[in-house]
């Protein structure tokens, strides 16, 4: 019987000293610390500590006689208070978890959605950026791009793509481009990319934005061009939706 009591008390969180003191008091009915020490074979410091904790838990109580504390066991049903306290604690923890789980899910989603950005400088850098853009080709995935005509850099752009169009950067990739109306004449002179589906518009469009899979390549053309390659589902999807909207118009 006593073994079963010990096992259950351990389950609800009693330490060995607390169990020994509690069982000792059950046998004594009422006892001073010295009497408890003799009966339980527990060190003085541990008995004092156990009595303090059991009193705080409402499992034992004491009366003072001649300036000496005499301990006794409270109503055994008070043990239920410990379980109730743990249940309340677990309930609070559950409520707190329910509040932070959406935040954790949001953080997890951000981590899972890989995002990365790289900067490329110069014409060789631009070539490298295009290579990375098409690094992982996906069957039937469309390559979409904008080119806004700029008189100050159109010759630079034409010279760059005159070389790139004849290389194996984006062969066998479905390509759709939206250009400014002003570039129609220049584009007709380009060789090697007759397979590009093109549309021309007088509406405002982004300048040199390239979209493929989950990557967006933005280029600032000049004698020393700069490219920004962004790997992000959200950013790329935003540009893709803009492209499709303008393409339909």
Over residues 86-100, the pLDDT tens digits come to 888 888 888 888 887
**Burial of residue 117, with CB atoms counted within 10 A of its CB: 0-12 exposed, 13-18 middle, 19 or more buried:** exposed
Domain with CATH 3.30.870.10 in the chain: 116-248
Q: Give the model's pLDDT for residue 170.
A: 64
| Assigned CATH topology for domain 2-74 | Arc Repressor Mutant, subunit A (1.10.10)
pLDDT single digits (tens) 149-161 = 888 888 888 888 8
Domain with CATH 1.10.10.10 in the chain: 2-74
Class of domain 116-248 (CATH, top level) = alpha beta
Nearest to 243 by CA among 196, 205, 208, 197: 205
pLDDT single digits (tens) 148-191 = 888 888 888 888 887 776 566 666 788 899 998 888 887 777 65
- Write the DSSP string, 77-110: GGHHHHHHHHHHHHHHHHHHHHHHHHHHHHHHHH
Dihedral (C-alpha) 62, 66, 68, 74: value to the nearest 10 degrees? -10
Consecutive H or E run containing 227: strand 226-231
pLDDT single digits (tens) 62-116 = 888 888 888 888 888 888 888 888 888 888 888 888 887 787 776 666 555 556 8
* 209 has a pLDDT exceeding 90: yes
Average pLDDT over residues 52-56: 86
Read off the pLDDT band of 194 (50, 70, 90): low
């Amino acid at each position: 019987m006593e073994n079963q009591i010990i096992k259950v008390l351990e389950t609800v969180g009693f330490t060995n000293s607390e169990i020994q003191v509690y069982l000792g008091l059950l046998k004594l009915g009422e006892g001073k610390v010295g009497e408890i020490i003799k009966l339980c074979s527990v060190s003085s410091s541990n008995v004092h500590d156990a009595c303090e904790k059991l009193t705080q838990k409402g499992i034992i109580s004491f009366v003072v006689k001649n300036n000496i504390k005499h301990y006794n066991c409270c109503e055994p049903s008070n043990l239920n208070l410990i379980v109730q306290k743990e249940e309340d604690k677990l309930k609070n923890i559950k409520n707190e978890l329910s509040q932070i789980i959406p935040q954790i899910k949001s953080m997890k989603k951000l981590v899972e959605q890989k995002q990365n950005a790289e900067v490329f400088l110069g014409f060789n850098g631009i070539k490298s950026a295009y290579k990375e853009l098409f690094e992982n080709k996906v069957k039937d995935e469309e390559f979409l791009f904008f080119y806004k005509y700029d008189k100050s850099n159109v010759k630079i752009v034409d010279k760059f793509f005159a070389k790139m169009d004849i290389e194996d950067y984006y062969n066998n990739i479905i390509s759709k481009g939206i250009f400014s109306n002003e570039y129609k004449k220049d584009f007709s002179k380009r060789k090697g990319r007759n397979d590009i589906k093109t549309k021309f518009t007088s509406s405002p469009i982004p300048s040199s934005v390239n979209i493929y899979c989950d990557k967006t390549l933005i280029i600032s053309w000049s004698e020393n061009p700069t490219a920004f390659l962004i790997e992000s589902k959200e950013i790329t999807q935003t540009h893709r939706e803009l492209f499709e909207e303008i393409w339909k118009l």
